[in-house]
Amino acid sequence: MEAVNNFELSAMDRWEIGNSSPLIIAGPCSVETPQQLDETVRGLVANGVKVIRGGVWKPRTRPNSFEGVGHIALPWIKEIKEKYQVKFAIEVASPYHVEKAFEFGIDLFWIGARTSVNPFAVQEIADSLKGVDIPVLVKNPVNPDLALWIGALERINQAGIKKLGAIHRGFSNFNDQVYRNSPTWQIPLELKTRYPNLPILNDPSHICGRRDLLNSVAQMAMDLNFDGLIIESHVNPDQAWSDAAQQVTPEVLGKMIAGLHIRKVAI
């Protein structure tokens, strides 16, 4: 692991969204249609989820695959937020995404693993976030580089974002026999040790790549005192336009969350 310079993440606020501890963010990998979004969110709300995730612009590995419906999803999201009284999180990967998301009242942004790997892109996003007062979560870069992850957090923090958090989504591997992205828990644990005030969520969906492993990874994150989970859920997982194999229905998700053994009481 590369040596990491110590630095202070300055003036971090404690933040809370959706009043749940641990923080649960759930929703489809991608927003696909108004109907898919409505049915998924209805199911999630019925299962106690108050903060929804949904990809609008999707950074896909290969060209010619579905790359998200784009900005047309934003008015659908606005309507769903009002209808179900939920908060909504999306991935932003450029100043344009930030501007559009802000225009439509998105409550929380995250920076994806294919963006946090690129300091130029992160700096551009950071510059566009000046004056923004919503939580921003930074996923680990795809490669197991703690310094790069911290550097991305630092760029966002130096832009004045005080409601900061991290998401552990695992690390690219060539030949892991089990996980889509190896969890390599020592990296997020090192981040937690260095920055005890930085909330960190676990993303079992992108670590596992398959739904049958989600529960064990989510439980591990709870056992390690992570502050929350961000999990993909779709009303009809097998028909999802992206990441079908790792998504679960809102009902399955609700049962899984209810069955987790949670030690932590306050974020």
User: Hey, which residues does 137 pair with through a beta bridge?
Assistant: 110, 165
Q: Does residue 169 interact with ligand PEP by CB under 6 A?
A: yes
Quick check: 29 binds ligand PEP (CB under 6 A)? yes
Q: Looking at 6-14, 25-33, 97-105, 145-153, which segment touches Mn ion (CB under 5 A)?
A: 25-33
Question: Considering the rule CB under 6 A, would residue 113 count as an interface residue with ligand PEP?
Answer: yes
* Least CB distance to ligand PEP at residue 3 (A): 25
Nearer to ligand PEP, 83 or 226 (CB): 226
Q: 197: which 2 tokens?
A: 């005030």
As given in the structure block, the two tokens for residue 212 are 């049958």
Q: Show contacts with ligand PEP in window 75-94 (CB under 6 A).
A: none
Q: Which is nearer to ligand PEP, 206 or 234 (CB)?
A: 206
Judged by beta carbon, residue 159 or residue 230, the one nearer Mn ion is 230
Using the rule CB under 5 A, which residue among 32, 91, 124, 243 binds Mn ion?
A: 243
Taking CB positions, which residue lies at the least distance from ligand PEP? Answer: 112
Give the nearest distance from C-beta 88 to Mn ion in angstroms.
16
DSSP alpha helix (H) spans, 159-249:
186-194, 204-208, 214-223
Strands (E), the chain: 23-27, 51-53, 87-91, 108-111, 136-139, 164-168, 200-202, 228-232
Residues 183 and 28: beta-carbon distance below 8 Å: no
Instruction: Select from 112, 224, 126, 129 the least CA-distant residue to 170.
Output: 112
